[in-house]
Amino acid sequence: MEYIKGFTYGWMARKGEFLKPEARESLRLLQERTGTTHVIFALAAHQAKPQSTVIDYTGDHMVSDEELAVMIRYAQSLGFKTILKPTVNVTDGTWRAHINFFDLDVPCEPKWRDWFASYTEYQEHYARIAEACGCDMYIAGCEMVQTERRADEWREVIAKVREHYHGPVTYNTDKYQEGNVSWWDAVDVISSSGYYPLGDWDRQLDRIGEIVKSFGKPFFFAEAGCPSRTGSSQIPNDWNHEGSVNVQEQADFYRDMFDKCARREWVQGFGLWDWNHLLYAEAEASGNDGYDVFGKPAEQVIKEFYANN
């Protein structure tokens, strides 16, 4: 597998936002400022609650199919490899990892079969777009921890995706969950979210490496990053952590992660989290405490690492 020097782009983009000139300029700057070669277009369909069985991918909370296709082709015109990643947000704010249903059907209760039917329809829709646009990879879900035990249903999802999309397919499990997915044999690439604490990367990579070796598949971190807040380097997955702005701590996190991963040849890249399609003014970077790296020291750390890998 080609090394993925990736960044997630356009997360939470609403209908019409990919049509704005600022969105195109943001994508151009992503390439110029970081040396990114692979752009991951991450989409956020909605379901109302963790136990809802209907997934809405047609509302104004998502970019339209037409503008998505136009932006993918614009990215390709810039020389990017493109990866499509349709996932789900819960409208009430619950993290998608908690989407869950009874394993034994109970009358009058929501059921796994209904949720997977809706989810499969959603994935098939975007698999067709990925195929039509010539995307280089398809990520069939992200961090849906409680669903992952449903191996048979996930195998069916992947099989349906393959009916429409003929490139490599992966699934992005969450941090610490790499060993809990029993159906890695169904995908072409293993991927997970690399939100591991600064100072703990060696231990986690030792663990993940054994899992990857057992399946004989390529691996990359489909997500990885850290907010620029004091304390976030120890809990980089916690976007709600309260801390003062600390752009240096964010840069230190990236240096540590890159240093440790570069020593493991089986780590075949990153889909860093994340690059906003509508950027703040660069002069505001020193006061921004999010995952963003635009105009922060971490941006240069990333560019140097990608230039040498």
Q: Please give the average pLDDT of every successive group of 10 residues along the chain, which has 309 residues.
A: 97 98 98 98 98 97 98 98 98 97 95 98 98 98 98 98 98 98 98 98 98 97 98 97 98 98 98 98 98 98 97
Query: Which pLDDT value is given to residue 91?
Result: 97
Query: Which pLDDT value is given to residue 35?
Result: 98
What is the number of alpha carbons within 13 Å of residue 225 lying toward its C-beta?
A: 23
Number of Cβ within a 10 Å radius of residue 197: 18
Query: Which pLDDT value is given to residue 167?
Result: 98
Number of Cβ within a 10 Å radius of residue 263: 10
What is the number of alpha carbons within 13 Å of residue 59 lying toward its C-beta?
A: 11
> Tens digits of per-residue pLDDT, 110-125?
999 999 999 999 999 9
Domain CATH number, residue 126? 3.20.20.80
Burial of 241 per CB tally in 10 Å (0-12, 13-18, 19+)? middle
> Tens digits of per-residue pLDDT, 228-260?
999 999 999 999 999 999 999 999 999 999 999
Domain count, the chain: 1
Q: How far is CA 122 from CA 11, 47, 131, 244, in A?
A: 17, 12, 15, 39
CA distance 90 to 77: 34
CA distance 233 to 250: 7
User: What is the domain extent for residue 70?
Assistant: 4-307
For every residue of 71-82, DSSP letters joined together read HHHHHHHTT-EE
Query: Which pLDDT value is given to residue 173?
Result: 98
pTM higher than the cut 0.85 = yes
What token pair was written down for 234? 């120890």
Query: Which pLDDT value is given to residue 6?
Result: 98
Query: Which pLDDT value is given to residue 149?
Result: 98
